[in-house]
Structure 1
Amino acid sequence: MRPFPLRHLPPRPARWAALAATVGLLAAACAPGPAAPPAFVTALGGPIAAPSSTPAPAAPAWRAPADGSVAWTDCGDDLARQYGMPAPTGTVTVECATMRVAVDPAAADSDEMTLTLTRASADDTPKGAAPLVLVGGTDLTSQRALLTLTAADAPLLRGHPVVAVERRGLGPSSTVSCLPPTDVAVLRNAGAAPGASTAARIAALGSASTDLTNACADKLTGDQSMYTAAAAAADLEVLRTTWSVPALALLSVGDGSTVALAYLAAHPERVARLVLDSPVRYDGTFTDRTEDAAKGTAATMASFATQCRALGCALGDDPAKAVGDVFAKAAAGTLGGVGDAELLRAVTTELAISAGPTSDRITTLADALASARTGTFGPLQALVASADATVGSDGQYITTCSDAGQKPAPDQVAADAAAWAEKYPFGGGVAALNMVGCQGWPAVEPPPAPKRALVPTMAMLALNDPLTNPSAIDGLGGAIAMAGTQLATVSWAGIGEGAVLRSACAQQSLSPYLEDLAQPTTSACPA
């Protein structure tokens, strides 16, 4: 946890009073008496004790919605074909529905848009079990995340159905189209051109960002500010009222954590469970979150190299060096038209978002990189095209930039690009440049910090996620404690975004929490 700046300390008399109160609490804790409730173990230096002996308010009721509140139709096979992903296992049913929400949640006379809902259940999911609401992010979207969950054994579904709520602007029901293709091309290659300097790339990206923002402002007719995490949190409240249930149980994945925590801040009494899987930094700047991703990519590539060598992959005895060679070729413009930005996107998408066993994703990427290293670029170009289709929609650009808040100035980006290229050699420099892509988008106020919570929070940490880093929860434990409850963490040593989506161990560790708000059964899950 970061230390508080001195300017936030209260005056000295107040500090002495606080110290005396603390001593009194410690003395009371040492005296004989009733056993204290168990504290949740955190990754931030030990347990966080209950703030007082006052009985905690009752947890909000977690109930199943009435039958017929939403009209579901079977869609599992269609979605598998659409996403090019394995069909759900034979015991799993995937169904789709839609929901109407106000474009402007604060306006009584607002126009409406349609959101996509997707539900997964298994043959042995108890009838009448309360659903877990999956909140995906801007990269790993809700529907894709749900399909990733159902593509393998999913013990989570033995306890509860899972309902994915697609974020506005994403998914088949509310697709947004407003970006000029020429400027999208500049965005995707991060302003690369033969001999282009860092300053020239930043200038090209800044110009493209302005054009992209203006084009979307024209097409969205003033609604471009309605794609924020706060607006997505308001959509969750529409789902709750549609279901007529007292509260929601939320499972966020990736930067869906921003939406889930925004909902907690707005409606603490309506959160029955809160699981943050691979969360991003809630209280950080756009630069902080981008650097977290660069750290995550570095950690992931180290793990990739180790596992690649163990698998006898196509990159030989020193996969790290081989990958470094490929990144150097991309930066030099000698990788068959695949630049550094495209290469970074292909690598992170394949390892973070693609479905399937880790060994399969490692092998696919290693084969493509090895081929490109020797002059056969087709497999890598195919991964680039797949990544563009997976994370390159207009809606993903809009939602990402809507959550960016205050963007760094061009000179700061240039400094970060130089520093991160040294600190994070696998794409750190171009990760900094990518921030300029959102430069023209209007800044919005970040969602407020949660002030109150009635249930503990679970954080599931993917240790090798190219899109974020476990350090993203720095400070979250303290913030949750200040809200009146505790944070528990479970780590997963595998590669990818979404520990719960990919690890049966992670899912099983959640069971005591989901059923009884009890501590997890394990603190770490193997790869």
Structure 2
Amino acid sequence: MRRIGVAAIVLAVSTACGAGPSDRPEVAVVEQGGGSAPTTETTPDIPQLQTPVRDLDWADCKDSTLGPLGLGAGPAGLSLECARFTTSVDASERRAHVIQIGAMRARLPQTPDNVAPLVLTSGSDLASTSTLAALATGPSASLLERQPIVAIDRRGIGTSTPLDCGPRVDRRALADLGQFTAGDASTVDEVAALGRDATVECTDELQPYELDFDTSHAADDLEQLRQLWQVDGLGLLGTGNGAAVALAYAAKYPAHVGRLVLDAPPATTVDAATAAEQRVQGQEAALADFSRRCAALNCSLGPDPTATITALRDQAAAGRLEAVSSSSLLTAVSAFIGSPRGDQAARVRELADILATAEGGDVAPLQDLIETSETAVGTDGQFVARCSDGQQWPGPGRAKDLQQTWAEKYPVFGADAAVALMRCAAWPTMAPPPLPSTIPVPVLVFSGAADPVIGNGGMATVTGSLTSAGAMWSSVTWEGYGHPVVTHSDCARQALDRYLDSATLPPNGSACPA
């Protein structure tokens, strides 16, 4: 697929006024009321979503999507169709450049033709089209029986025209956290230097649009889709970072929110180090759950899988797993247990066998897994998006302190997570993502007890932001491990179905079993 810097962005003309940066309080907003009263029947003043008046130019992409992802064919008659649409890089410019945004639609033979689609975004965590592919081929495909789902890839990611920061970016060293290049420098200082180099290359390549790949601009892309469809509102399902995109859309275009579902949303008002710690907490909890299942199955990692994985990480850190670094190993493990695939429980042995094979001296299967994981979560587009979205990145001194503290508190993932903060430490200061001041529809919020992609430590800030916006909301917690909730929990899918049909919320504080 062709990759672009700013030179390939096509010139177009637009008229609008610019907007300046906003401020965000440093103290997290925490909800005060314990949630809003749940509705028990259809909310009378919430209109039904509309079918697109003008649709995108869809073309079949089922085989080309599912094959590289290693997914099965899914339910009989599953249709996956892809398209692109054009959006302004910066809608506030009088003369705007435009880029292509990728989309994918999933349907079943029984999916009605005359119902509005649900719009899914995973933000920068994973290509939205990959999340939808996993949803459509697993148990959550039942959601397609009531309406199609359309995934919108964030700009620069997935099927959107991807970003390329140029050949001088040492992506391998960044992925390895400088393990094989640090020399006499500490890993923190080495990654700080690598991050500075990558920042310079990416911002130079994207000028003058280097600051236009954040959450706020991703929300503008959703608005462009709504306008192309010629509908009054969108039904939005935001998973992980995509929930932040959905909230930004509600902040910028509140009148056009038809439904709003936040699945495993990140914290709304915290700095980058706090967000990273919440993610590490989720990784440690998810690994513990995975290990319990693995041990119960008498898997190849032995009676204490966590200890075996930790020992394998230490071997990688000592350079005894060939070219496998501790960071790339942990990234692959976290990506595997955080996959949106619905067959996660059946894949416990798969990961165990890959790691056990590496422990026995054959690292080829592990290297294949690492390559797959880094292709999914480590693109230039994701680097730019994640750096743009983070707030108050710490400096090297703070990162070194966190490296020591987190190594004790979070013994598997903590130390590397602190060093990884340096990847974005040199990124230009960005305005924080906007938060809504009003939300005209009830909001359904899901969280996972052991989420290795986001964690769940930021839920209070999310529900607090909803309360501050005067929204009616309800939260549902899933007790299992993985990300996002709706691709893993049948209980959550039932709540989602009811909400999409009539905007009816479940009782606040509901729990779904693992």
- TM over 0.5, yes or no? yes
Shift of 1:359: 2.8
Q: Does 1:112 align with 2:98?
A: yes
Shift of 1:416: 0.9
Shift of 1:398: 1.0
Q: Does 1:210 align with 2:196?
A: yes
* Residue in 2 that maps onto 1:227: 213
Are the counterparts in 2 of residues 292 and 467 from structure 1 also a CA contact under 8 Å? no
- Count of aligned pairs: 482
Q: Does 1:316 align with 2:302?
A: yes
* Residue in 2 that maps onto 1:193: 180
Structure 1 residues 173, 510: CA separation in 2 closer, same or farther (over 3 Å shift)?
A: closer
- The AA in structure 2 aligned to 1:90 is A
Q: Give the Cα–Cα distance (whole angstroms) in 2 for the partners of residues 463 and 86 of structure 1.
A: 28
Q: Give the Cα–Cα distance (whole angstroms) in 2 for the partners of residues 180 and 319 of structure 1.
A: 39
Percentage of identical aligned residues: 35
Instruction: Report the more deviating stretch, 450-459 or 347-356.
Output: 347-356
Aligned to 1:208, the other structure's residue is in SS state helix
Aligned to 2:237, the other structure's residue is in SS state strand
Shift of 1:499: 1.2
Q: Deviations over 1:399-421 (max 9, x none)?
A: 11111132111111111111111
Q: Does 1:248 align with 2:234?
A: yes
Q: Give the Cα–Cα distance (whole angstroms) in 1 for the partners of residues 195 and 181 of structure 2.
A: 21
Aligned to 2:486, the other structure's residue is in SS state helix
Are the counterparts in 2 of residues 477 and 486 from structure 1 also a CA contact under 8 Å? no
Structure 1 residues 44, 325: CA separation in 2 closer, same or farther (over 3 Å shift)?
A: farther
Gaps of 5+ in 1: 9-41, 51-55
Instruction: Report the more deviating stretch, 366-375 or 265-274.
Output: 366-375
Gaps of 5+ in 2: 1-24
Aligned to 1:123, the other structure's residue is in SS state coil
Q: Deviations over 1:210-242 (max 9, x none)?
A: 211221223223211110100000111111111
Q: Does 1:81 align with 2:67?
A: yes
Are the counterparts in 1 of residues 214 and 385 from structure 2 also a CA contact under 8 Å? yes
Q: Does 1:508 align with 2:494?
A: yes
Aligned to 1:105, the other structure's residue is in SS state coil
Q: Please give the residue correspondences for 1:51-130 in structure 2 after superposition, counting only pairs within 5 Å.
A: 58-59=45-46, 61-66=48-53, 68-130=54-116
Q: Give the Cα–Cα distance (whole angstroms) in 2 for the partners of residues 80 and 108 of structure 1.
A: 40
* Residue in 2 that maps onto 1:355: 341
Q: Does 1:405 align with 2:401?
A: no
- The AA in structure 1 aligned to 2:180 is A
* Residue in 1 that maps onto 2:414: 428
TM-score normalised by length of structure 1: 0.86
* Residue in 2 that maps onto 1:134: 120
* Residue in 2 that maps onto 1:27: none
* Residue in 1 that maps onto 2:5: none
Residue 483 of structure 1: which of 453, 463, 469 is its match? 469
* Residue in 2 that maps onto 1:274: 260
Q: Give the Cα–Cα distance (whole angstroms) in 2 for the partners of residues 216 and 491 of structure 1.
A: 38
Pair member with larger Rg: 1
Are the counterparts in 1 of residues 153 and 159 from structure 2 also a CA contact under 8 Å? no
Are the counterparts in 2 of residues 407 and 435 from structure 1 also a CA contact under 8 Å? yes
Shift of 1:44: 8.3
Are the counterparts in 1 of residues 195 and 424 from structure 2 also a CA contact under 8 Å? yes
TM-score normalised by length of structure 2: 0.88
Instruction: Report the more deviating stretch, 57-66 or 294-303.
Output: 57-66
Structure 1 residues 43, 425: CA separation in 2 closer, same or farther (over 3 Å shift)?
A: farther
Q: Give the Cα–Cα distance (whole angstroms) in 1 for the partners of residues 434 and 428 of structure 2.
A: 18
- The AA in structure 2 aligned to 1:150 is A
Q: Deviations over 1:121-166 (max 9, x none)?
A: 1122222111110011212220000001011132211111111111
Q: Does 1:48 align with 2:36?
A: yes
Shift of 1:91: 2.9
Q: Does 1:145 align with 2:149?
A: no
Structure 1 residues 500, 481: CA separation in 2 closer, same or farther (over 3 Å shift)?
A: same
Residue 400 of structure 2: which of 414, 423, 426 is its match? 414
Shift of 1:195: 8.1
Q: Give the Cα–Cα distance (whole angstroms) in 2 for the partners of residues 44 and 431 of structure 1.
A: 31
- The AA in structure 2 aligned to 1:48 is S
Aligned to 1:347, the other structure's residue is in SS state helix
Instruction: Report the more deviating stretch, 376-385 or 271-280.
Output: 376-385
Q: Deviations over 1:448-478 (max 9, x none)?
A: 2211111121111122221111222122222
Are the counterparts in 1 of residues 265 and 462 from structure 2 also a CA contact under 8 Å? no
Q: Does 1:160 align with 2:147?
A: yes
Q: Give the Cα–Cα distance (whole angstroms) in 2 for the partners of residues 397 and 476 of structure 1.
A: 24
Are the counterparts in 1 of residues 31 and 464 from structure 2 also a CA contact under 8 Å? no
Shift of 1:422: 0.8
Cα RMSD between the aligned structures?
A: 2.4
Q: Deviations over 1:89-125 (max 9, x none)?
A: 2232111111100011211311111111111111222
Shift of 1:437: 0.5
* Residue in 2 that maps onto 1:33: none
Shift of 1:324: 2.1
Aligned to 1:461, the other structure's residue is in SS state strand
Q: Give the Cα–Cα distance (whole angstroms) in 1 for the partners of residues 68 and 392 of structure 2.
A: 35
- Higher RCO, 1 vs 2 (CA within 8 Å, ≥6 residues apart): 2
Instruction: Report the more deviating stretch, 393-402 or 85-94.
Output: 85-94
Structure 1 residues 260, 305: CA separation in 2 closer, same or farther (over 3 Å shift)?
A: same
Residue 171 of structure 1: which of 149, 155, 158 is its match? 158
Q: Give the Cα–Cα distance (whole angstroms) in 2 for the partners of residues 403 and 362 of structure 1.
A: 33
Residue 342 of structure 1: which of 328, 341, 350 is its match? 328
